[in-house]
Amino acid sequence: MALHVLEEANRCLGCKIPRCQQGCPIHTNIPEVIRLLKAGKLNDAGWMLFENNPLTTVCSLVCDHEHQCEGSCVRGLKGAPVHFSLIENYISTTYANQMVKGPKPDNGRRAAVIGAGPSGLTIAVILARYGYGVTIFDSRDKIGGVMRYGIPNFRLPDSVLDDFAYRHLELKGIKFRPNTYIGTALTIDDLLRDGFQSVFVGAGLWKPRKLKIRGESLGHVSYAINYLASPEAFRIGSRVMIIGMGNAAMDCARTAVRNGAQFVTCVNRTGEIKASQYEASYAQLEGVEFLMNKCTMEIREDGVVLADSGVDAEGRIIPVAGSEKLYPCDSVIIAVSQEAESNLVSSTRGIDTGRSGLLTVDEDGRTSRPGVFAAGDAVNGARTVVEAVANGKRVAEAMHAYMQTLPLPKLTDYPDVPVVEFHEAAAQAEQVLGGQT
């Protein structure tokens, strides 16, 4: 493995104008990382990767490299690009084992992060580097958000996120409050009341977008975001029809193959494959068929009714009358994106949203309510992990600047309450109950 990585690193030309770095949404200094590796300074290269991108181990596996760093590599103009994903994965996973540094001294301020997805985790790590007491709230039982519950394990193993939780959260003193949905029992107002000087909203898009057609509620139908969260819970049968042709559809298709489906078909109403070429090619290699230019008309117990796609005078895609056909299948997975849920925002005063339910922010992630920031899918819709990290870095700096303008919080309610040891409290309770415990 190391020899292979060095061979790939030696292919780097060290361009004075690094197109690879320009193509990276987070502007990783790829030439310098490779130079350090070739000089035998692996730990320095790892430190540079993690300082720039706390989720570098994740991004090395799931980034859209063909359209970013590797797609911009000058070597790719006439041949194969330098596969930096391979280099980054080797450096980051090896260096991660050296990361045992504890938390920075507490600066007396606290920040809350809603959502343990890529933007939320990035912000939590950066604020912890400044010494803030950070608590992450998430509706799921483990960190990762869409990275854990929306990306299949064969693409991003849970062990990568578990390792991140240990080295970046536990060792830095970042608290994680699982199974806690902000917007029901607890609200953003509660967090601000309890001494969090700043709140970041990074809740993902967990509400599936509907097709709004007949048959969508039938028992053999599921949505991509639900299926990917726990595919083993679904009985999909032998023949599976997937509506959609983006990356989520490819993940569903490849997961279905690994869970016993023998015939998997992805359907799209246009002739365009929205998924990356890399993911689409893997799906086809694993036997997934693509059915293009078909409008989904109705879902029935025994299959899906599709019609040929046409275009009207205004350029809109419409079904061609009389072309409807039934395509038999055992189950249907709808993979046409997700939307924002409204509870979080509707339970908080003074936060503006757009027509689609996404939060309205300025360029640094400030919402219309002072002290409340947002980024990631809650603002931009479904995007890539590395884009969420890039947005998170910018917002973390804005949160830091904001909190530095505030006075240190003081405990004003009952400041002189005496501390009672547990055994004293138990003795008092026993006395009150007359010895009946």
Domain 110-206+339-404 classification at class level: alpha beta
Phi, psi of 126 (to 5 degrees): -65, -45
Check whether 98 has a pLDDT greater than 60: yes
Tell me the average pLDDT of the chain. Answer: 90
375 closest CA partner among 113, 157, 130, 110: 113
User: Which helix (H) or strand (E) segment is 3 a member of?
Assistant: helix 2-10
Residues 381, 356: contact at Cβ < 8 Å?
A: yes
Query: What is the per-residue DSSP string for 197-212?
Result: SEEEE-----EEPP--
- Per-residue pLDDT at 102: 59
Average pLDDT of span 125-153: 95
Separation CA 12–CA 68 (nearest Å): 16
pLDDT per position as a tens digit, 322-370? 999 999 999 999 999 877 665 666 666 778 877 667 788 899 999 999 9
Phi, psi of 346 (to 5 degrees): -65, -20
User: Which helix (H) or strand (E) segment is 391 a member of?
Assistant: helix 385-404
Enter the CATH code of domain 2-96: 1.10.1060.10
Residues 402, 371: contact at Cβ < 8 Å?
A: yes
Task: Please classify residue 361 by burial: count the beta carbons closer than 10 Å to its beta carbon, then call 0-12 exposed, 13-18 middle and 19+ buried.
Answer: buried
- Per-residue pLDDT at 178: 96
Separation CA 232–CA 229 (nearest Å): 9
How many CB atoms lie under 10 A from the CB of residue 268? Answer: 24
What contacts 32, CB < 8 A, 6 or more positions away?
48
- Per-residue pLDDT at 359: 83
Enter the CATH code of domain 210-336: 3.50.50.60
* Domain residue limits, the chain: 2-96, 110-206+339-404, 210-336
The band of 59, judged by pLDDT with boundaries at 50, 70 and 90, is: very high
Give CA separation, 177 vs 76, 136, 180, 181, 247, in Å: 45, 6, 6, 10, 30
- Per-residue pLDDT at 411: 60
Confirm whether 110-206+339-404 and 210-336 share one CATH topology: yes
- Per-residue pLDDT at 437: 46
